Structure formats: C-alpha cells, structure tokens
Amino acid sequence: MDKGNLVIYIISDSIGETAEQVAKAGISQFNLDEYEIRRFPYVTEKQQILEIIEEAKQEKAVMVFTMVLETLRNVLVEEAEKNNIPCIDIMTPVIESMGVVLHNSPSREPGLIRRLDERYFRKVEAIEFAVKYDDGKDPRGLKKADLVLIGISRTSKTPLSMYLAHKNVKVANVPLVPEVAPPKELFNVPAKKIIGLTTNPMKLIEIRQERLKALGLKHEANYASMDRILEELDFAEDIMKRLGCPVIDVSSKAVEESASIILEIFREIGYKIGNGR
C-alpha cells in the first residue's frame, strides 16, 4: 500500500455535500497539512463501488459515505471491510434512531434534502418577487409573474400575494384607480393568469374607515365614501370585463379561502403555477 498522504473518499448516492462537511470537520481536529478529498457523487450501481474500492485499496484511504440505498450501502461496507479500508456511515445511525422514535421506516430515497432546499429557495424567490412587484411598483414584473391580482384598494391584493408566495407562486398585483390608467403591460398578460378581486361596498366602507382611523384621519374622507367606492368598483369591473379574467368576491372570505379558490380556478383551467410550472 502507498504510505503517502491521507485520501478521504466521499461516496454518496446523492451529491455528497453532507459527507464532505463531516469529513472536513473531522480532519480539522488533526494537525495535518497534506491530505486529499475525493468526492464520488451519484453512486447508484454496484460496479461503481467496486471501482472505487479498487482505487482506494492502493492508498492510505478513509471512506466517509452517505448511502440511503440499503443494498448499495451493504456492498460498500462489505467491500471496505474485505480490503481493510476504514469507512464511516454518516446516515444509517441517524435515520435508524429517528425511525425508532417515530415508529416509522425511512423512504431511503437519495437527494431528498436537496429537493427540500430547492423548494425553500423557490419560496424565498417567490416572496421576494411579491415584495418587488407589490402594488404596481414595476409593471415589467407582470410578464414574469405566475399570477397577477388586480383590484381596488383594500381588496386583499397584498395579503393574497404574500400568502400565495409561501406556496411558491410568483404574484404581482396592480391597484385599479379611476384617475390612473392601468399599465399597458397588464393588457399583454394572458387572461388565464389574471384574477380580479372585488368586494361588497358596505364591507369596504368599514374596512376603509378603520384604515383612516389607524392613520388618524377623519371617517368622512372621500376614500371611505359610498360614492367613491361605487365609482372605483365600477371602474374595476369595466377593466376586468375588458381583460376577460375570473373575478372573486373577497367580502367575507379569509385570505386562505380566497387563495384556495384562486388555486382551484387554475387547476380547473389547466394552468400550472408555482411547483407545477
């Protein structure tokens, strides 16, 4: 056997990041300047293991591995023992202990943690998108969105955008105000990607009066008057008809309920958003 520098073999049926981090943590405890780490990701066949063993037995080697596929894990352990190569199984003690506590069996499917990480980053991306394109801040976001919400003030556009973002849906929203023409980009968005939000005028008066109160303003402000609200609702209805988009009345609905209806609408028309894109 070559008595040279230590070679740490990282073997995994996924990408091997976990095993490599553990190996680096271990090697940091030694005053060792010369060593090599070799990573072998996506090992899914017995022949791959045999080839790695053949290489490792010629060197001063230690194997650190994360194999959730039990048959391959057994092959690796048996072949390492035959050739007197120390090997450290990172995953098995952890998942077996958890299985005992949970009274359940692990799925033993490679790469699940990476999928969880990807799902997390998609959610963060969707949340950042909702913040960036909230309240019509940048019309350029409309063509990038999975979904566009439109409606007058206080129809839950922002809460719905954020709620759906947590389901990995990229949402932009546009306020409809009679004095301001909707962005031209809105009329280039396919109708199947747009949801109109409307509400009961009496309910909206209550909501807007509470908003004025919170801001320290008088209830009699035009913002909370029936004439103004009816004008806005008529304007919004006209825009929604021009766009030909579905419309949801959010008057007595919680954000969760409205979001569920929106997702159901998309399922019915076959337009996939979020994870399904």
Count how many residues are written for the chain: 277
Q: Does the annotation place 152 within a ligand binding site?
A: yes
Q: Does the annotation place 66 within a ligand binding site?
A: no
Q: Does the annotation place 158 within a ligand binding site?
A: yes
Give the Cα separation of 70 and 14 in Å (integer).
14
Minimal CA–CA distance to 174: which of 149, 193, 154? 149
Q: Does the annotation place 157 within a ligand binding site?
A: yes
Instruction: Using the structure block, give the residue that is written with the tokens 């990038």.
Output: 144
Give the Cα separation of 115 and 16 in Å (integer).
14
Q: Does the annotation place 218 within a ligand binding site?
A: no
Long-range contacts of 259-263 (CB under 8 A, 24+ apart): 259/160, 259/163, 259/164, 259/167, 262/147, 262/160, 262/164, 262/195, 263/164, 263/167
Using CB atoms within 10 Å of the CB of residue 200, give its burial: 0 to 12 exposed, 13 to 18 middle, 19+ buried. Answer: middle
Q: Does the annotation place 92 within a ligand binding site?
A: no
Report helix, strand or coil for 81: helix
Q: Does the annotation place 151 within a ligand binding site?
A: yes
Q: Does the annotation place 153 within a ligand binding site?
A: yes
Instruction: Using the structure block, give the residue that is written with the tokens 């609200």.
Output: 229
Binding site: what residues are annotated?
Answer: 151-158
Binding site for ADP: what residues are annotated?
Answer: 151-158
